[in-house]
Amino acid sequence: MASWPKKRMPSVKHGLLRKGMLFSLALALGCGKPAERQPLLLVLPQWENGEARAYAAGLAASASLALRSALAGEIRVSGVPEAFQALPLDSLSSQKYALAVAERCGARALLLVRWSREGGERALLDPARGNFSLEWEPIGEDWTDEVAAVGRIVGQRGRAVARSLPPPAELADVGARFLRLVPGAEWASREESSPRDELGGWAEGELLLRRLAQLRLESKDLTEGLLRLGRFLTAEWNDTSSGEWQCLRGAYFVYAERWSEAERWLFRAYRRDPSDGRTLYWLSHLHPSRLKKLGLRSREKALRAALQRNPLLFEARLALAEQLMSERRFPAAREEMERLLALNPDHEGGLMMAGRLFMAMNDIPNSLRTYKHVLDLNPGNADAYYNLGILYFHTGHLDDARALFQRAVEINDHADSHFYLGLIYEKLGLLDKALHEYRVRIGLRKGPADAYADEARERLKALGSIAGDSLRAER
């Protein structure tokens, strides 16, 4: 194997000049200190009843957007939307749980927001003190006081806040949109309720991204989802200078596989705020040769940087675990899954990844236990039935495997379950049923490179030949 050519080491003078240029560039970009050294602020909503939940979610979204802008380059802010996609909704109303999450994430400050009869209120805590006694204070017309209070805790001074607090009706609408990101919630985007401001647009954009992620997970055509997100991104009220919009634009081009444009918009978002973990997560989808421009030499480094900036980015944690699994670095992948499940033991995506990891490690008992837990949480998870069926198939329990594959087919016509049903019927000598299942699997081809569809076609040819030989022998 050829070795890489060695580069000449720069002189001391050249190195110092280069460092000075980089430092000047960092100042020009507004980066007061490296992102990995910036303290973390966690923003979470609180509510006492269901009626106040949407208002609290809207307050948390408004706070997250305003504080990310005001504290960029000094303090990392984690809150909306990642909290709704990562943490159990029924636990967020618990102050003790919120403090535990902040401690596990290593947050330097925790901002809790809620809605009461008097309006918006906030409480700011230092998780290191473990103080559970909250002092709720009213929120003003904007988030200026909150920025100052955070600065007192972490010893930083953020820039001025230019975002006024939306009126209650808008807060509730924004909060309801973000709550639809919660796993298991009704989240399909409705164009007739199109937002008219940056905050509502941010929520709608996240919903449209989730729709694309779901379509890709189900191996469905992305055209409609891309058209809807494309129309949304060209709405007149969008603030094209905001980091959120630029990141969303870059994510759109990632799904469209237009890599040069994805790089352009994601680099813009990164330069605007290098501490934004979501931008780094989307950057991780680019080829490593593009990431070298940012000093990130691999997808793993980009994902780890995203998680360092925002520990609640579960999608980045899952992507990192999958990357490690593909390299057969099972202990490292298991460590990432343990970190995720420590924050949310019932996270469905995390449990599914853990089940796959146990399968790859040939840990059948833990894999069975994990998938059964998923089905306790969500009896409609077709992939969990399918993966359980795989385990039973390879351990010779064909009757149990057949029942599980059939259940997956009943839920959403699970394509690969048809293939395994064909294998089972073939083993049982039920050739007509096997032929039927193989034909169905071929008809559900997921694209040009579909190994199961190709194998089903080969099995169909082989069984057709066997059936023809048998028929000629009878004559």
Three-class SS of residue 428?
coil
25, 343, 375 from 33: Cα distances, Å: 12, 28, 45
- Close Cβ partners of 293 (under 8 Å, ≥ 6 residues apart): 267
How many residues are listed for the chain in this entry? 475
Q: Return the pLDDT at 1.
A: 37
Q: Return the pLDDT at 351.
A: 97
Q: Return the pLDDT at 4.
A: 34
CATH-assigned architecture of domain 189-309: Alpha Horseshoe (1.25)
Q: What percent of the chain has pLDDT over 90?
A: 56
Q: Return the pLDDT at 193.
A: 56
Q: How many CB atoms lie within 10 A of CB 202?
A: 24
- CATH code: domain 379-474 is 1.25.40.10
d(CA 244, CA 247): 5
115, pLDDT greater than 60: yes
Q: How many CB atoms lie within 10 A of CB 91?
A: 14
Residue bearing the bigger pLDDT, 12 or 206 = 206
SS3 content of the chain, % helix, strand, coil (to 5): 65, 5, 30
pLDDT tens track for 378-421? 999 999 999 999 999 999 999 999 999 999 999 989 999 999 99
457, pLDDT greater than 80: yes
CA-based nearest residue to 293, from 279, 283, 307: 283
Buried b (16+ CB within 10 A) or exposed e, 432-462: eebbebbebbbebbeeeebebbebbbebbee
Strand pairing category for 40-45 and 109-116: parallel
Residue bearing the bigger pLDDT, 299 or 126 = 299
Average pLDDT (40-67) is 91
Q: Do the Cβ atoms of 107 and 40 come closer than 8 Å? A: yes
Q: Do the Cβ atoms of 386 and 408 come closer than 8 Å? A: yes
Three-class SS of residue 45?
strand
pLDDT tens track for 40-50? 999 999 998 87
Q: Return the pLDDT at 279.
A: 95
Residue bearing the bigger pLDDT, 69 or 255 = 255
Which residue ranges does the chain devote to CATH 3.40.50?
A: 36-187
CA-based nearest residue to 175, from 50, 69, 281: 50
93, pLDDT greater than 60: yes
Average pLDDT (449-456) is 91
- Close Cβ partners of 361 (under 8 Å, ≥ 6 residues apart): 330, 334
CATH-assigned architecture of domain 36-187: 3-Layer(aba) Sandwich (3.40)
d(CA 381, CA 346): 14
Average pLDDT (159-175) is 86
Per-residue confidence band for 373, with pLDDT thresholds at 50, 70 and 90:
very high
- Compute the radius of gyration of the chain from its Cα atoms: 26
Q: Return the pLDDT at 10.
A: 37
Determine whether 14 is exposed, middle or buried from the number of CB atoms within 10 Å of its CB (0-12, 13-18, 19+).
exposed
59, pLDDT greater than 80: yes
Quick one: which H or E segment has residue 460?
helix 451-474
Strand pairing category for 119-125 and 109-116: antiparallel
pLDDT tens track for 1-40? 333 333 333 333 344 334 443 333 333 333 456 777 889 9
pLDDT tens track for 219-229? 788 999 999 99
Per-residue confidence band for 51, with pLDDT thresholds at 50, 70 and 90:
confident
90, pLDDT greater than 60: yes
pLDDT tens track for 263-306? 999 999 999 888 899 999 999 999 999 999 888 889 999 999 99
Q: Return the pLDDT at 185.
A: 64
pLDDT tens track for 209-252? 988 988 888 778 899 999 999 988 887 666 778 888 899 999 99
Q: How many CB atoms lie within 10 A of CB 152?
A: 11
d(CA 404, CA 390): 9
Average pLDDT, the chain: 85
375, pLDDT greater than 70: yes
d(CA 138, CA 146): 10
Q: Return the pLDDT at 27.
A: 31
